[in-house]
Structure formats: structure tokens, C-alpha cells
Structure 1
């Protein structure tokens, strides 16, 4: 059927129409696991099934998934990160690159072969609703996420439903289950004003549609009261905000900053902005970036160092204008950090064009550059242009990556004392992740109760992607973690673990979309997070480190077993890992020491008689 409204024929009420379960609002992971495992609900009862959510793409997609998860949870559905035990799969898709869409095809095929009811959301069905892969599958558009419960309920009944017609923006105050309870991803607008020749996202997200300042201010007030410590402004182009409703980005930012706590316990991160729309506001933007509650960080995609290629891309700015943005912000904002994107091998790119890109990156030595190869997206003008040979594209991508990786952007930070905001657990399962005012990633050994706090740290060593630090003192301790956990589901925030029923394919969007999943570093950033810890750090919080390391290793083995990458019997019979041995050895030594002391005391008593 074409649309969910078709189901209304012969029915007195809309499909799936019912009030949410009040007790389910804000329900955490533990309750969800209990409801799915112990109650064994009948599939015929709406709101009793388990949903697996898979998210591809940018932070805007992540926010959409969190909103959909919140609504499903509010109506009683359980969220699971185990696809095999879920009753329905909800796949939130990205159309930026071919690999993302191929990954979507793979998971859809797997779901069909497992006879799982499927709902596909996001940019792929919105921009390419007639794809063969989507035949027989329920789909929901990017601006209809507020009706995901209806879609899920009808799909579980065996109906194929489609809801793609754009009407109005989804409300910002919908229930939400955050992947990271300390981070709110706040969409300020959808769509954009650009017409880049390679971009498929415009087909899906459409023309610019901005939320009102009042609605965004209200959302900021709400999430601060819930204990959120970072607010990420997200959109397809932050700089274009408000041009459709008669306001602009500086006006919004000033209104939002006025609501942030004076002690800077909650920080604001401004999302990706293309050069054309901030050139006229550079001084105002710089003033906001200097504010104590705003990270001195901005993602400004350049895509190419050649004006010829920028013109072919229809990017609506020149390399000189990009330089103006970077130079002005760097001059006016202390500790300013800028990230950018490069597309290698765009149709028509010559060796000279590529050399200009190399020289631009060498000149600025930006600490964060995402390098992607050109992917022709069906239906875009660039897909019809003459392509650069794939071997040339790959060679250029490797060359630019080697140039970028030769930089040492954080050298000289050793010994500095920085304030950081701690909101995550590193993928090594050992360190906590904080960010400086310039959004430089700092890894620290600290107890988990420091998540959601701000601290002063001394930088002890630097790596290519991160720096290491020792905590000197806590600035903003979380006064009531129990209260916070009541407001937001208690989820593991680690990057390496799938949390709260979410599964992500992090991706840095070649269209110039916001930095995906928040870290804003090169794709292989995670490899560095597991690097060796300096010797002087490994002595701090040793027991907490050992326990976190043990938990991380066990989760890794469990994940491998679940995926079938390790034989089950080998996993069961495997030797204890190093951490287990150390922990057992410590316990054994303690017991032997106590026994020895008892025996010594007994002998002393006997001899004294």
C-alpha cells in the first residue's frame, strides 16, 4: 500500500492509536531487558515486543534514532542490541556514500532471510523510495519520525506501510532515549540551501526548514534540567539556519548561550557549517566561540583546494573564501580548532587540482581532516560526469592520508593544565574521554563516576589523535547520579559497546554534513584510543582500570561469540586472560597473607603461655 493512511479505510480509529504507557516514559535498559525476557509477551499485544535499531550516518540520523527509540520505549516496547532476539528491526539509513547503502542492503537481506519484520527509515527511502531493495518493506520518512509507533505496530501485524509525505517538522519535545545520556544532539534545521552536484542528502532532507528560536531554547532548558552536559547543534548546514524564517545563526546562538549554566557545566558545540553562510557573520560567530560555555571548534568542509573543482561541485564558495573563514576564526578565537572534509577524485579532477588540495592541507595542518573517495550517487548530476579512474582515486586518497598523518597537531601540549569535560568511555574500555575548550580529545584514567563532570587535567603525553592527561581536580562533580539515572536510561556510554538497543555505523559525511558520532577525527581514530598508556598513568586508579579492562575484554569475547567469529567451545574453554590472572593472583596473595598473619598470631599466643 502507498501510505499508512490507507489503513484507515473501514476503521474507526487511526492504526496504532493509543495513549503511551505513562510508566514507560524514560524507562531504562534494565527494565526493557526484564520485560522482554521474563514476561514472554504475546506478539498480538502492541507495545510488548522487542525492537532492534540500527543507525547509519551522521549525528542528525543518530538524533532521529534516539527520538524514535524514545517514542517506542514510551509506548512499552523494549529496545535490544541483539538483533537475533528482537521481534522487529528498525534500520535508519544514510544515502551519502555507496558503502553505507551497501551495508543497508546487507542488513535488509539478512533480516528478510531471518523472517524479521523490517522498518526502514532515514535518507535512503526518503530519497529513493522505489529501490528494489525496499520492496515489501515498511518505510518512514525523515520528517515522519514522530509516527514511528504507528509504522511499527502495523508492520508487526503483517502490513506493509509507507509514510513519506512531508508536512511539518517533528516536534523537539518528543520522548528520547539517548545513546549517551550526557550528550543531547539537537537538530536546529533540516535540509539546506545548497545544490551540490554530488549530494544525495538534499534529495532526502529537502529544502531548508528551520526550527523556531523559542522551540530550540525550550529544548535546551529541558535537557539541561535532565543532566545533559554537552549539546551538539546538528543539521545539514548549521550556518544556513533561520534564512527561511527571517533570523540567522548568531541570533540563535546568543539565545541558546544565555540559557547555559554560568559555571560552564554544560557545553555547546556548533555543528558543521559551509563557508558561504558564515562569511557575513564571522565576527559574531567568533565572539560566540570565545564564550566559556561554547567549544572553540567548528567543522567547515572545503572538499577541494581547487576552485575549478569547487565550481564543478557547485559549492558556491572559493578556496580564498575558505581561507578567510579559517584565518579569521583562528585569529579571533584562542585555541580555535577547525575540522574539514576532502573528496578525492571528483570527476574532472586533474593532477594539478589535486596538488592544490595537497598544498592547502599542508599549509593549514588542520588537526582533523576527513578524506573520502568520490562515490557517484544515482540521480545526482555528478553521477553523469566523466569519472576519474578508480586506481587514480585510490592513489590520491592514500597520498593525501599520508600527508595528513605526518602532522603532529598536539605537540607542545605536554605539561599544560587544561579544563576538560568528560562525557564518554574510550573504545579501549579503560580510559574516560574528555574534551578541552578547543575540543581536543583527552584520555584520562579515572573512575566512572567522573562521567558527566568537568575536571582540570595536566597533559602528560600526546598522540596523533588524542592526548593523555592526569586529573588534578574535579570542577563540576555530578551531585546526584541517581536522580540523573531516573531521568535518562542508564546506558553504557562506551564507543565500542552497542548501547540501549542502538547499533551504529559511524560515518563522516562527504556531503559536508555534521561530524558523525561526535568525535570529529579521521576514520581510523579509534585505533589510537587503544594505544599504550604512559607508565606514570598506569599507576593511577589501578583497581578501577583493571575492572574496566576485564569487563571490556569479556564483552569483546561475548561479541565475538555472538557474531560467530570465535568457535563457541573454544570461547568456553579458553584460558583466562591476563587481567583475570592478575585479579585472581591478587586475591590469592591477600588470602595467603591473612592466613599467614592468623598462624603467626596463634603461634605467638601459644609461646606466650
Structure 2
């Protein structure tokens, strides 16, 4: 079936939709094995239930949230119940074989259940002729604003394929966020790279950036909606704007200027490759020091060997990667950097792998996303001579063991940190917050703390997260009462003069997204290790399985701008101390007078 490019006839008004059959003369499928009869035709159109499943990176997650928003606005119900749904919508990831295999299994189940099916995302966009996609409706990565049309026609028994487009989807489409406190904001699609192993470029294409004004407008809108974290998502954040005559620092400065000055909403900068950030290192460092920006960045290195980086066509050297890490670490207090490694790339020798291990040992990154090489059909690397699979697995296990031996959060115990709380841990007991450096902090408290900022005392540290006790909830007034530059004068134990240590990445609702391609080009399900990641679709963070029972002393005092939590762990202010001191001095004076009169 040919791609359908235009469903609007005669330039209809925005939001006006013609049935696809009327617009382009569509026909029902004639292949009896794939024929879809109108499903639940007795139902009023727009009242059916849609099962939505998302694979891959934060960009894919944002696309799914936009599709869910549009479907919901037309009356469709979005559900996690596949069996009870009237139609399945699968948003796919093409970065690695496991993700695509999971997609294939889900498509097979859907066909067996004779459910109408729509497949979206990078797999159909990059490989529309796959056998698994025969008889399936398709929505391309830049056609998500037309998902309602595709769903409607698929429910009627039609096969629809929308893949080609020359303009980007609007940013102000209806959206249903997976986490109401986190906005995933795509700043561009595609990239300028040509990595030999990457399939995502086939799907997302060449760089296409949103304008600064449109992005700032979206930021202002979501802040008004109550969003507390904004994740900038991209296949390569550092390349932003090169197609429209601007650059990343220009965008970041404009966004920061639009954020609330009290620090109630934080910005997380998405994955960036070394070549483009090298041009703006000092400017980026300055922005990362801003109190409203997490001091965290995901910079994939992929290999510690220049020979392998050349084979990957990564367009930088290990020395240039070191320059990025060293400069940001020097200029940004409390800076945290995550990186990616691919084990067993074609041609990788024992010496090449040893260089990678030494690089990771030297920097002891708190987050390393380790992936075995997966050849993707149609990429140059798929035609290269492969490393034996048993060697690849051995190297992956060895590097994972090295990484897990690090103790990146030692030294934090006892410190006072400001955190931003946005999620519930998988154990359903702890709340998940992040310091300014995007260190994941697990605390016990009521769900009403979600979306708030708080001061916590770190009580213990684990391999993947730290635990803390909430000592003060910061309201808007108390946020503004403590300028970020003066926080160290209030408590000398604070670790970062940049506004207190640290989402992102993709590893809590913000995890630095790991992957074999680029971090934001894939998802947690394509990584072996994803530290600090409670909210993604990937492997469960070990620290979130710990169960700590809530303390009976934990209470929430409402109506007080400086709520105190946990009896016996009260935070005394200057005024409180002065009052107590005055009472004590008065008492001593009275006792002295009585003794004098008595003598």
C-alpha cells in the first residue's frame, strides 16, 4: 500500500478531519489472512478503548504521551489492559534487537487475538517493508498528530500507512503525561551523525529543530500546568539549532529565563555527543551551574579506543571526550556525568576493550549504560566482521563487574541536600527525589509530597541510590527566601555551592537514556546497567526493591509554610532558637532575684 500524504481536501480548517476513505479512496484489505473486519461496530466511534505500549527512549515516551492526549481528547480511553482493549497501539524502538523482538512478539499476539493494530515509532519508519508489519496500520514518527485518523480507519477494517512528512508535529498538541510532574520536551528530531551501527538515523532522519520561541512557549505552558521537571529530549541535544541558525546555549538561556525563579521547576538537559558540545563547553558549564538546572549530563563515549571510535564513525577521539568530562567536572560543582559503552563492536580487540575498561576505572562514572553490540539490518556495521558472541558476553560481564564495584555516593551520608520529588518507587513505599546533581534519593513520606521540593538529611547510601529523611518541605515562599548563592551560609554541610546537589537520565523519571546508539535514541530496555532509574520501562533498579517501613513518627502538618516532619528530627530556625534562648535567660534572671532577696 502506498503512503498516504494528505487527508485534508481543499485546505480545511485545523482540526477538521475527512474520513480517509473519502480523502484518498482507500480500500479494505483483500488478503483473507489479514482481513480486519470493523471491530465493535456497535460502539459509537470515539468511545473504544486503546491499549498503548511504548518501547524505547524518552523521545518515544513523549510521542506516546502526545498520541494518548489526542486520542483521549476525541473520547478514546487509554488502557494498560491489552485483553480488554478494542485496538492495540504499539510505539516501537529500533535501536537494538531485544526491543524489536519484543515488538514482534506483541504484534504476533495481537494478530492471534484478531485485534485491530496500529504500529508507530522508529521500526516502521525505518523498515516499513518488514514481514511482521504486513497488514498493519502504521504511523510514522512525524505523523503522530494524525493518530486519531489512523485509529478510526483501522477500527473500520482499513490498513493505513502515514510515513512521510516535511514539517514537525506541533508542540501544543493535547498530551497525557505518564508522570504529571515531568514534561518530556523534544527540541529536535534526527541528528547530524552517521554512526555505522545506528538504525535510528534511518527512522528519525536528518536534523530538524524546533524554534526557540516555540520551545520557550511550551515551557511556559507546562510550568503553568504544574510541571516540576522538564527533560529536553533529542537524538543529539548538542546539535540543536544548527539547521535554523541557532545553538544549544541560546536555547538553554532562553528556557532558563522562563523558569520560576524560586527553583520549583528544574531543567534536565538531554544526551549530547562530544563533537558539538566541545564548541560550547564553558557556556554549557555556566548553564549547568544555574540553580534551576540539574548538574547532570549524559555524554556517550561508546568505546575507550580511538580505533573503534573511528570504525563507529563517532567523529571524536577519546581525548576529546576526556576534555568534555574534565572541563565540566572542573567548572560545575557536584557535576554528575553518565556515559554509554558498546561491548564487542566489530573489530574490537582485547587491547581495545582494555582501553575501555581503563577509561571507566579512571573516571568511576556513577552511571554507565553497558550494551552488547547488536547488528542492525541495513547499517554498515552489520556487514563488518563480528566478534564471537561468547567474547562479547564475557566483555560485557567483565565491564559490568568493574562498574558495579564503584561506590559513587560514599561521603554523602549525613549531608543536607535539597531534592525535587516527582515519583513513587517501585516498592510503593519510598518517594523518589533527585539532588541538583541528579543523585536519586529515596525518602518515606505521604504522596502529597509529590511535586514538591524538600530539604533532606542523607541517612545511608547504596550502590544505586541514597536514602534520606525529610527535615523541611520548601514552599514557594521558603524557596525564594533562600537564594541559591547563600545556601552554604545556612548549612555548612551542603555539598554544592551551585545550589545543592542534585533527574536525569534516564534514571529516575529522568534517566540518562542508555543505548547502543545514542542515549536518547533508545531506551532503558536496551541497556544492561541503568543506575538511578525507577520510572523507566527497563530493568528494575535494585535499590528500589528495598522495603523500609514508614516511621510511625512521620506526620504531615498542613497549613504551615515550613512543615516539620518526623518527631525527634526537627529543624530549628533562627527565630525558634532566639525565643528559646530568651526564655532560658529570663528563667535564670528570676532564679537569681529570688536567691538575692532570700539572702
Secondary structure of 1:57 counterpart? coil
In 1, distance between residues paired with 2:365 and 2:327? 15
Counterpart of 1:74?
Answer: 73
How many Å apart are 1:510 and its aligned residue? 1.4
Change (3 A) 1:391 1:456: same
How many Å apart are 1:517 and its aligned residue? 6.8
**How is 1:367-446 mapped onto 2 (pairs within 5 angstroms)?**
367-446=366-445
- Matching of residue 268 in structure 1 with residue 253 in structure 2: no
Counterpart of 2:3?
Answer: 3
Change (3 A) 1:351 1:454: same
Q: Is 1:57–1:506's contact at 8 Å kept on the other side of the alignment?
A: no
How many Å apart are 1:525 and its aligned residue? 5.2
Equivalenced residue count is 494
Secondary structure of 2:83 counterpart? helix
How many Å apart are 1:250 and its aligned residue? 0.1
In 1, distance between residues paired with 2:393 and 2:18? 50
- Matching of residue 528 in structure 1 with residue 527 in structure 2: no
Counterpart of 1:452?
Answer: 451
Q: Is 2:54–2:61's contact at 8 Å kept on the other side of the alignment?
A: yes
Q: Is 2:531–2:541's contact at 8 Å kept on the other side of the alignment?
A: no
Change (3 A) 1:334 1:205: same
Q: Is 2:409–2:462's contact at 8 Å kept on the other side of the alignment?
A: yes
In 2, distance between residues paired with 1:277 and 1:118? 40
In 1, distance between residues paired with 2:313 and 2:397? 25
How many Å apart are 1:81 and its aligned residue? 0.9
In 2, distance between residues paired with 1:220 and 1:14? 29
Counterpart of 2:335?
Answer: 336
Change (3 A) 1:137 1:287: same
How many Å apart are 1:44 and its aligned residue? 4.8
Superposed CA offset, 1:465-499 (max 9, x none):
000000000013799xxxxxxxxxxxxxxxxxxx9
In 1, distance between residues paired with 2:52 and 2:206? 27
Counterpart of 2:567?
Answer: none
- Matching of residue 541 in structure 1 with residue 535 in structure 2: no
Superposed CA offset, 1:228-275 (max 9, x none):
000000000000000000000000000000000000000000000000
Change (3 A) 1:8 1:467: closer
**Structure 2 regions of 5+ residues with no counterpart?**
21-38, 479-508, 557-599
How many Å apart are 1:526 and its aligned residue? 1.6
Superposed CA offset, 1:281-313 (max 9, x none):
000000000000000000000000000000000
In 2, distance between residues paired with 1:215 and 1:243? 16
Secondary structure of 1:84 counterpart? coil
**How is 1:483-502 mapped onto 2 (pairs within 5 angstroms)?**
none
Secondary structure of 2:232 counterpart? strand
Q: Is 1:184–1:231's contact at 8 Å kept on the other side of the alignment?
A: yes
Counterpart of 1:510?
Answer: 516
Q: Which moved more, 1:214-223 or 1:515-524?
A: 515-524
In 2, distance between residues paired with 1:506 and 1:512? 10
Counterpart of 1:323?
Answer: 322
How many Å apart are 1:3 and its aligned residue? 3.0
How many Å apart are 1:138 and its aligned residue? 0.1
**How is 1:242-321 mapped onto 2 (pairs within 5 angstroms)?**
242-321=241-320
Superposed CA offset, 1:388-424 (max 9, x none):
0000000000000000000000001000000000000
In 2, distance between residues paired with 1:507 and 1:417? 28
Secondary structure of 2:55 counterpart? strand
Superposed CA offset, 1:496-541 (max 9, x none):
xxx9xxxxx99732111328479764765522211253x8x74553
How many Å apart are 1:167 and its aligned residue? 1.8
Counterpart of 2:128?
Answer: 129
Counterpart of 1:56?
Answer: 55
Q: Is 1:336–1:438's contact at 8 Å kept on the other side of the alignment?
A: yes
**How is 1:154-303 mapped onto 2 (pairs within 5 angstroms)?**
154-303=153-302
Q: Is 1:341–1:510's contact at 8 Å kept on the other side of the alignment?
A: yes
Secondary structure of 2:399 counterpart? helix
Change (3 A) 1:101 1:41: closer
In 2, distance between residues paired with 1:8 and 1:336? 50
Q: Is 1:408–1:464's contact at 8 Å kept on the other side of the alignment?
A: yes
Superposed CA offset, 1:411-470 (max 9, x none):
010000000000000011110000000000000001000000000000000000000000
Secondary structure of 2:472 counterpart? strand
TM-score, normalisation: structure 2? 0.79
Change (3 A) 1:423 1:264: same
Counterpart of 1:105?
Answer: 104
In 2, distance between residues paired with 1:459 and 1:532? 17
Q: Is 1:192–1:240's contact at 8 Å kept on the other side of the alignment?
A: yes
Secondary structure of 2:72 counterpart? helix
In 2, distance between residues paired with 1:516 and 1:15? 36
Counterpart of 1:359?
Answer: 358
Secondary structure of 1:83 counterpart? coil
How many Å apart are 1:4 and its aligned residue? 3.8
Counterpart of 2:579?
Answer: none
In 1, distance between residues paired with 2:539 and 2:109? 27
How many Å apart are 1:2 and its aligned residue? 1.9
Superposed CA offset, 1:49-91 (max 9, x none):
1001000000000000000000000111111110111100000
Superposed CA offset, 1:339-361 (max 9, x none):
00000000000000000000000
Counterpart of 1:502?
Answer: none
